[in-house]
Structure 1
Amino acid sequence: MGWSADEIDTESAHSARMYDYFLGGKDNYPPDQKAAEKVLLVLPNARTIAKNNRYFMRRSARMLAEEAGIRQFLDIGTGIPTSPNLHEVIQQIAPESRIVYTDNDPIVLTHARALLTSDPQGETAYAEADLRDPGSILNAPELLETLDMSKPVALMMISILHFVPPEYDHYAILDELVSALPPGSYLALTNGTADFAPEEMKRAAAVYAASRVPVRQRPKKEIERFFHGLELVEPGVVPIHRWRPDDPSLGELTDAEVSMYGGVARKP
């Protein structure tokens, strides 16, 4: 797919491939598996968190397509494709929708380009870009050729900001991205939290850090700050399994078992 083997780091754990392992995928390597198993030892609910993060993505995407009428989506931190993917959820509702996926890991983009195809009425594009440099996303040719940035866009930031290294200003990064969107756009975001299971989440963060994958868990107030200046959609920022649940089994989960907040908001 245009990358040489030495460009793909299979010797170190990677958050996207660990996530794929938690979801039961096959696109991961021994370092990812080893790190993920260490996480499971201290946080047995890691798979539950990962699966509910995907469920939140699907529910929020359906809401944005059905209720808000959004037809353009920018998904940052795509990760390994896991069906149904974002474009499959959206284009089932509105086949003409246009989606741009971005990630900074060549192996993620390789799988995305090989496995994800758009409905012929719409379009799907893939950009190799780095969230630490928002300009690399906003100026990516794939984005500029696919999305009309004068019309509303849904910015999907699903379980990605907490993996940005701590030396970067996470709020400034998000502000730059949201500022580039026109009024009527939306932000959908999830972020891990230690509010409900502090000891388990602390130990899990230490495992990630030891694998050179920093993770920033945040209390609710810090996550709500990401939505500053935006109009939150009901029910606001809540544990992700409590955001517009569409399956009775979600109500059986405790907040500690999920340990992630999510929300959706509109840019006025």
Structure 2
Amino acid sequence: MTELHNAAPLPTEIDTTIPHEARVYDYWLGGKDHYPADRALGDLIAGHIPTIKTMARANRAFLARSVRHLVGAGVTQFLDIGTGIPTAGNTHEVAQQLAPEANVVYVDKDPIVLAHARALMSSTAAGRTRFIHADLHDPRSILDHPATVETLDLDRPVAIMLVAIMMYFRDSDRPADIIASLLDAVPSGSYLVITHPTADFDADAMAGVVASAEASGITFHPRSRDETSTLFAGTELVAPGVVPVATWRPDLTDGPTPVGDADSAWYWAGVGRKP
């Protein structure tokens, strides 16, 4: 496989004057860690997709359902990349509720997530939770990081969580190669979890979202169902395959959280197992 270049050192300063993906997403989820620039972009995108906050919550709910499925399949190690700002229902909270011994490594490049990393460190006595300030453009910086090596046993199955992250990679960034590098590092029985926004439901509205994000300096690349499916190369898709995010295994919903219909959130979602 073609060798991927190393990423430059990541900045640790927080610039509140320009919007950032994690903070915009936090705004949509009803969080508190966002600034006027983030809210302005969030509202601009909501002008194209009025239900964007519902979609963000549906995406978050899928994360919890997928983690429940994975723990049920015997997976107790998670590499959650593109973590975002801590909120309710983080990967380690869901996993360790079912398997207290579960270990989780979180990864994000946003310095504000680094600033809030302590909130991700709360763990059970049996499990471990770590955070890495790194960029998925350089997967080796994640896989070789001491926190990964010390927390995850890469000789045992690992769930690679790429929830609402791959849209920030253009085709020229070779996202398939990046994912393949992650999968190459984990053994048979590991899993890949992806959600991805798409223009398949409303091309005009999504075009407006892309234009708004790009004008604010944020790469945003929606992908079709077929394009999203290709990101699972090297895995066997778990039933029901790549489907609208709100419809993936609604039976795994915990509590009264409603599950929407196929058109309620414009994300594709899937879980693949490495054979």
Question: How far apart are 1:48 and its partner, in Å?
Answer: 1.3
What residue is the counterpart of 1:26 in the other structure? 32
CA contact (8 A) 2:23 2:38 kept: yes
**Cα deviation 1:40-63 (Å, max 9, x = unaligned):** 111111111100100100000000
**Distance of 2:202 and 2:51 partners within structure 1:** 11
RMSD value, Cα: 1.5
**Distance of 1:143 and 1:54 partners within structure 2:** 24
What residue is the counterpart of 1:236 in the other structure? 241
Whether 1:65 and 2:71 are equivalent positions in the alignment is yes
Whether 1:113 and 2:118 are equivalent positions in the alignment is yes
**Distance of 1:13 and 1:91 partners within structure 2:** 33
What residue is the counterpart of 1:89 in the other structure? 94
What residue is the counterpart of 2:179 in the other structure? 174
What residue is the counterpart of 1:204 in the other structure? 209
In the alignment, which of 50, 59, 70 is matched to residue 56 of structure 2? 50
What residue is the counterpart of 1:265 in the other structure? 272
What residue is the counterpart of 2:106 in the other structure? 101
Q: Secondary structure at the match of 1:258?
A: coil
CA contact (8 A) 2:244 2:262 kept: no
Q: Secondary structure at the match of 2:259?
A: helix
CA contact (8 A) 1:104 1:130 kept: yes
Question: How far apart are 1:175 and its partner, in Å?
Answer: 0.8
Within a 5 Å distance, the mapping from 1:184-195 to structure 2 comes to: 184-195=189-200
**Distance of 1:81 and 1:167 partners within structure 2:** 30
- Please identify, of 177-186 and 239-248, the stretch whose mean Cα deviation from structure 2 is larger: 239-248
Q: Percent identity?
A: 48
CA contact (8 A) 1:81 1:116 kept: no
**Distance of 1:115 and 1:75 partners within structure 2:** 12
Question: How far apart are 1:34 and its partner, in Å?
Answer: 0.7
Give, as a single letter, the amino acid of the residue that structure 2 aligns with 1:250: V
In the alignment, which of 66, 81, 84 is matched to residue 79 of structure 1? 84
Question: How many aligned residue pairs are there?
Answer: 261
Structure 1: 4+ residue segments shifted above 3 A: 246-249
CA contact (8 A) 1:232 1:265 kept: yes
**Distance of 2:32 and 2:99 partners within structure 1:** 30
Give, as a single letter, the amino acid of the residue that structure 2 aligns with 1:259: W
Question: How far apart are 1:260 and its partner, in Å?
Answer: 0.3
**Distance of 1:215 and 1:148 partners within structure 2:** 33
Give, as a single letter, the amino acid of the residue that structure 1 aligns with 2:190: S
Task: Pick closer, same or farther for the CA change 1:209–1:166 going to 2, 3 Å.
Answer: farther
Q: Secondary structure at the match of 2:117?
A: helix
Whether 1:123 and 2:123 are equivalent positions in the alignment is no
Question: How far apart are 1:114 and its partner, in Å?
Answer: 3.8
Q: Secondary structure at the match of 1:250?
A: coil
**Distance of 2:50 and 2:129 partners within structure 1:** 35
In the alignment, which of 259, 262, 271 is matched to residue 250 of structure 1? 259
What residue is the counterpart of 1:10 in the other structure? 16
**Distance of 1:172 and 1:69 partners within structure 2:** 27
Question: How far apart are 1:75 and its partner, in Å?
Answer: 0.1
**Distance of 1:211 and 1:60 partners within structure 2:** 32
**Distance of 1:165 and 1:261 partners within structure 2:** 17
Within a 5 Å distance, the mapping from 1:139-150 to structure 2 comes to: 139-150=144-155
**Distance of 1:51 and 1:16 partners within structure 2:** 14
CA contact (8 A) 2:247 2:262 kept: no
Q: Secondary structure at the match of 1:264?
A: strand
**Normalising by structure 2, what TM-score?**
0.91
Q: Secondary structure at the match of 1:70?
A: coil
Question: How far apart are 1:87 and its partner, in Å?
Answer: 0.4
What residue is the counterpart of 2:5 in the other structure? none
For structure 2, list consecutive stretches of 5 or more residues without a partner in the other structure.
1-10
Question: How far apart are 1:164 and its partner, in Å?
Answer: 2.4
**Distance of 2:192 and 2:258 partners within structure 1:** 26
